Amino acid sequence: MKWITREKIKVDRVACPWLIRNFVDPEADFVFLPLETDWSNIDNGILFDVPDCELGHNGEDVSFNSILKKYNITDPALVLLGEIVRAADSRPRNPHPAGEGLRWLAYGFGKLGLDDGQILKQEFIVYDALYRECKARIANSHARPLSASLFEVASTVR
């Protein structure tokens, strides 16, 4: 399937392709278009992280969170990773402290002179490592109340 977003990728537009490729669509083909694109005329793929799309920002959620919800992905480590991506990509009320470091990495990749496809190829390893660390932190966290949502649990693992 073709997945379409804005060019000049940074945090969420790298995290989402990593999530899509690993947990939604292993054969995903990513297309990056200029910000000025008329997104309402795009009908040959799935839009993400563009204005007024289902898989975009909603409230404090970033596109990564929207994809988790749309595809019913409930892995606690991915929910925690979503908290980190949210903190790096937006300004939530209670940001995860790892978000600032991820933001710095994303902006650093943008300064390497790479095109969007090259950034994806190079930066996916960062998300592989973050996911592994999230899994380890979830596995080592203390007992959690059964009534807590996965998003509540993720916000307590720091």
Within a 10 A sphere around the Cβ of 148, how many other Cβ atoms? Answer: 12
Which residue has 């297309």 as its token pair?
A: 31
Structure tokens given for 54: 């289902």
Show Cβ contacts of residue 19 under 8 Å, excluding neighbours closer than 6 positions: 64, 67, 68, 73, 78, 127
pLDDT at 145: 45
pLDDT at 148: 46
pLDDT at 154: 54
Would you kindly state where each structural domain of the chain is located, as residue ranges?
2-156
pLDDT at 143: 42
Which residue has 């990564």 as its token pair?
A: 64
Block mean pLDDT (10 aa), the chain, length 158: 97 98 98 96 96 93 97 97 96 93 96 96 97 95 50 54
* Alpha-helical runs (H) found in the chain: 12-23, 63-70, 76-89, 98-110, 116-139, 150-156
pLDDT at 141: 84
Spatial strand order of the sheet with 29-33 comes to 29-33, 2-6, 46-47
Rounded to the nearest 5°, which phi and psi values hold at 72?
50, 45
pLDDT at 147: 43
